[in-house]
Amino acid sequence: MNSPPRLRVYAVTWIALMALLVATFVLAHFRLGAWNPAVALAIAAAKAVLVALFFMHLRRSSALVVLFAVVAFFALAILFGLSGTDYATRAIHPTPWVAPDRY
Amino acid sequence: MSVAAPEIRPAAWREQTVSLGMWVFLATELMFFGGIFMGYLYLRTQFAGEVAQASRHTHEWLGTLNTAILLTSSFSMALAVRFSQLARRETVQRLLWVTAALGAAFLAVKFIEYAMEWHEGLVPGLHFTIVENARTTALFFFLYFLATGVHALHLTIGIITVLWLSWRLRKPPFPDARADDVEVLGLYWHFVDAVWIFLYPLFYLVSLAS
């Protein structure tokens, strides 16, 4: 097999992950309105991509492995999309009588 | 007639099938966690304000600490995989110990958090004392315990497997098949880390600003 990546690649990936963690924690304390969840999820996605590319070696994997990884996310997106359209177009109607809160 | 398949497969072939098998398993795992994330998405979009209020009960400093611990464990796991490709058995074994120790540290922090949440009456169905916005808070914490509990179970399986592999590496030799074990276990470990990467903002960072 090919020689493994240099140690520096792993160290830089880890530093980038920690920097993104600090960034997401600090940014969560700023009032950005609708941008708060968007920024938090974008940073989470960036961290996951770093882990997949450099720690899981997706960058150096065969096309077949990359295809399987991408198809998994594509399938999940379809399920989210179909479920989402169902729930988004459904209104919640309260029943005339609701049992007392038992919690 | 066709000739018999060659007995000795090229190393690249074995490496690819082993990794591919784990990626297929991880794809099914993604579907499994996907259901939990879909439930969260529904709750968050339908009851945005209430979810923000409920999320204030989680302990963001402990969640952040745990994220740092788990990201670092992935770093040491990635290094273990790298050194297994160089057949450096003792280095791999030490890095696997570090990975397992960091995983155990994550679980320790998580259980301290669970204990705090129990005392704060945040466990729906068993010990729930939150009065304001009770229904959505209960649903939020139901999802929180489900997601983090299932994640902790995955991590526990990962720690046990890492320790088992480390124990198997205590003596030479270090065959290629063992290096494949480290590689595949690494993929699983990083996946569990990646799930937490998303759980962290969804449960801890919702409304720190307001």
Domains plus CATH for chain B?
A: 30-204 (1.20.120.80)
Q: Which of A41-50, A76-85, B120-129 has the lowest mean pLDDT?
A: B120-129
Q: Which segments within chain B are labelled E, that is strand? A: 122-123, 127-128
| Segment B146-165 mean pLDDT | 96
Provide the sign of the torsion angle of the four alpha carbons B93, B66, B37, B144, taken in this order: positive
**Cα separation, B14 vs B10, whole angstroms:** 7
Residue A5 sits at the chain B interface (C-beta within 8 Å): yes
Q: Domain range for residue A41?
A: 1-56
Report B:59-118 residues touching A (Cβ under 8 A).
Answer: 60, 64, 67-68, 71-72, 74-75, 77-79, 81-82, 85-86
Same domain flag for A82 and A35: no
| B27-49: average pLDDT | 92
Average pLDDT over residues A32-42: 88
Tell me, yes or no, if B130 comes closer than 8 A to chain A by beta carbon.
yes
A44 & A3 share domain: yes
Q: Is residue A18 part of a domain?
A: yes
- If you average pLDDT over residues A8-36, what whole number do you get? 91
Answer whether B110's CB lies under 8 Å from B148's CB.
yes
- The Cα–Cα gap between A42 and A34 comes to 13
- Of residues A93 and B68, more confidently modeled: B68
Residues A37 and A84 in one domain: no
Looking at the structure, do residues A40 and A78 belong to the same domain, yes or no?
no
User: What is the rounded distance in angstroms from the CA atom of residue B141 to the CA atom of residue A36?
Assistant: 21
> How, if at all, do strands B122-123 and B127-128 pair?
antiparallel
Q: Which residues of B touch A3 (CB under 8 A)?
A: 85
Predicted confidence band of residue B47 (pLDDT cuts 50, 70, 90): confident
Q: Is residue A74 part of a domain?
A: yes
Question: Residue B150 pairs with which residues in a beta bridge?
Answer: none
Domain-embedded: residue A100:
no
Three-state DSSP at B198 gives helix
The mean predicted confidence, pLDDT, of chain B is 89
B138 to chain A, any CB pair closer than 8 A? The answer is: yes
- Number of domains into which chain A is organized: 2
Cβ contacts of residue B68 below 8 Å, gap of 6+? A18, A21
Are B75 and A14 within 8 A, CB to CB?
Answer: yes
The answer to whether residue A52 sits within a structural domain is yes
Residues A9 and A48 in one domain: yes
Contact B14, A58 (CB under 8 A): no
The C-alpha atoms of residue A74 and residue A80 are separated, in whole angstroms, by 10
Q: Identify whether A103 is part of a domain.
A: no
One domain for residues A52 and A66: no
Tell me what percent of the residues of chain A surpass a pLDDT of 70.
Answer: 89
- Asked if A31 and B209 come within 8 Å (Cβ–Cβ), the reply is yes
Question: Is A24 a member of any domain?
Answer: yes
- A43 and A67 fall within a common domain: no
Does residue A7 share a domain with residue A35? yes
The verdict on A46 and A72 lying in the same domain is no
Say if residue A52 is in the same domain as residue A82.
no
Chain A residues whose beta carbon lies within 8 Å of the beta carbon of residue B68: 18, 21
Transcribe A17-42 into DSSP letters: HHHHHHHHHHHTTS--TTHHHHHHHH
Of chain A residues 25-44, which have a CB less than 8 A from chain B?
25, 28-32, 36-37, 40-41, 43-44
Residue B172 pLDDT greater than 90, yes or no: no
Judge contact between A72 and B26, C-beta under 8 A. Answer: yes
Domain identity same for A72 and A33: no
Of B60, B76, B91, give the one whose Cα is nearest residue B159.
B76
> What's the predicted TM-score (pTM) here?
0.89
Cβ–Cβ < 8 Å for B78, A54? yes
Identity of the residue in B27, B67, B75 whose CB atom sits nearest the CB atom of A10: B75
Using the Cβ of B24 and the Cβ atoms of chain A, whether some distance falls under 8 Å is answered with yes
Q: Please name the member of B31, B64, B82 whose beta carbon is closest to the beta carbon of A76.
A: B31
DSSP code at position A6? P
Q: How far is A95 from chain B (nearest CA, A)?
A: 16
